[in-house]
């Protein structure tokens, strides 16, 4: 008996991709291939799939809003930014080929909110890798929290208005923390996690 289910290279059997949930097509990604090769050269204990390794790299570069349950392996040395830039890391995390683990998208958002990327270079890589729709959706969510954030505003301006996704990527509160007011986090105001 046949199945209409297909698996992308590097996928965990039975775990759907983000593309499947969002109804997006994927392409053969040179950046994903590069990341897979770097994963072999800069191994991280317990990183069963590329997404685990990308989380470890983001954590090692200061984005800690999401971690793997066992944390970053002590012996892990990520590739230097000269070899695998923050812009490439962000786009790799924003690819539709990734496993459908929406919490992972909080990591690229944190790197962008912290100003760890060059917006022009990021958009150039995102276009080349066909990740602009996911990046644009993250920008819309982030600008809901901080409409004047310089990097997110620039990304939004550079991307224009790609078509919206058919399903929500994640909720905007996943990119932000509530600001305490009189000792209580009552949700009156929010700030982007940077």
Residuewise pLDDT in 10s, the chain (194 residues): 333 333 334 444 568 888 888 888 888 899 999 999 999 999 998 899 999 999 999 999 999 999 988 777 788 999 999 999 999 999 999 999 999 999 999 999 999 999 999 999 999 999 999 999 999 999 999 999 999 999 999 999 999 988 888 888 889 989 998 888 777 776 678 889 98
User: Is residue 5 one of the residues assigned to a domain?
Assistant: no
Contact 175, 192 (CB under 8 A): yes
User: Is residue 80 one of the residues assigned to a domain?
Assistant: yes
Tell me the whole-structure pTM to 2 decimals.
0.87
User: Is residue 10 one of the residues assigned to a domain?
Assistant: no
User: Is residue 11 one of the residues assigned to a domain?
Assistant: no
User: Is residue 155 one of the residues assigned to a domain?
Assistant: yes
- Structural domain span for residue 41: 18-180+188-192
How many structural domains comprise the chain?
A: 1
User: Is residue 49 one of the residues assigned to a domain?
Assistant: yes
Task: Give burial (CB, 10 Å; 0-12/13-18/19+) of 1.
Answer: exposed
Task: List the alpha helices (DSSP H) in the chain.
Answer: 18-22, 30-41, 50-60, 86-93, 106-113, 119-128, 132-145, 150-159
- Give the pLDDT score at 185: 72
Query: Could you give the CA distance from residue 149 to residue 142 in angstroms, rounded to a whole number?
Result: 8
User: Is residue 82 one of the residues assigned to a domain?
Assistant: yes
């Amino acid at each position: 008996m046949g199945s209409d289910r297909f698996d992308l290279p590097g996928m965990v059997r039975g775990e759907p991709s983000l593309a499947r949930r969002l109804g997006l097509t994927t392409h053969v990604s040179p950046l994903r291939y590069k990341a897979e090769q770097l994963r072999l050269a800069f191994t991280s204990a317990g990183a069963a799939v590329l997404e685990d390794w990308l989380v470890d790299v983001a954590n090692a570069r200061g984005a800690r809003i999401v971690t793997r349950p066992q944390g970053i392996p002590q012996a892990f040395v990520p590739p230097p930014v000269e070899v695998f830039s923050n812009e490439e890391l962000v786009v790799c995390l924003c690819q539709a080929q990734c496993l459908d683990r929406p919490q992972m998208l909080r990591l690229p958002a944190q790197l962008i909110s912290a100003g760890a990327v060059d917006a022009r270079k990021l958009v150039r890589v995102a276009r080349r890798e066909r990740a602009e729709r996911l990046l644009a959706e993250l920008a819309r969510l982030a600008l809901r929290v901080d409409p004047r954030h310089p990097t997110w505003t620039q990304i939004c301006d550079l991307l224009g208005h790609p078509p919206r996704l058919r399903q929500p990527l994640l909720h905007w509160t996943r990119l932000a923390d509530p600001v305490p007011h009189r000792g209580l986090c009552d949700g009156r105001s929010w700030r982007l996690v940077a």
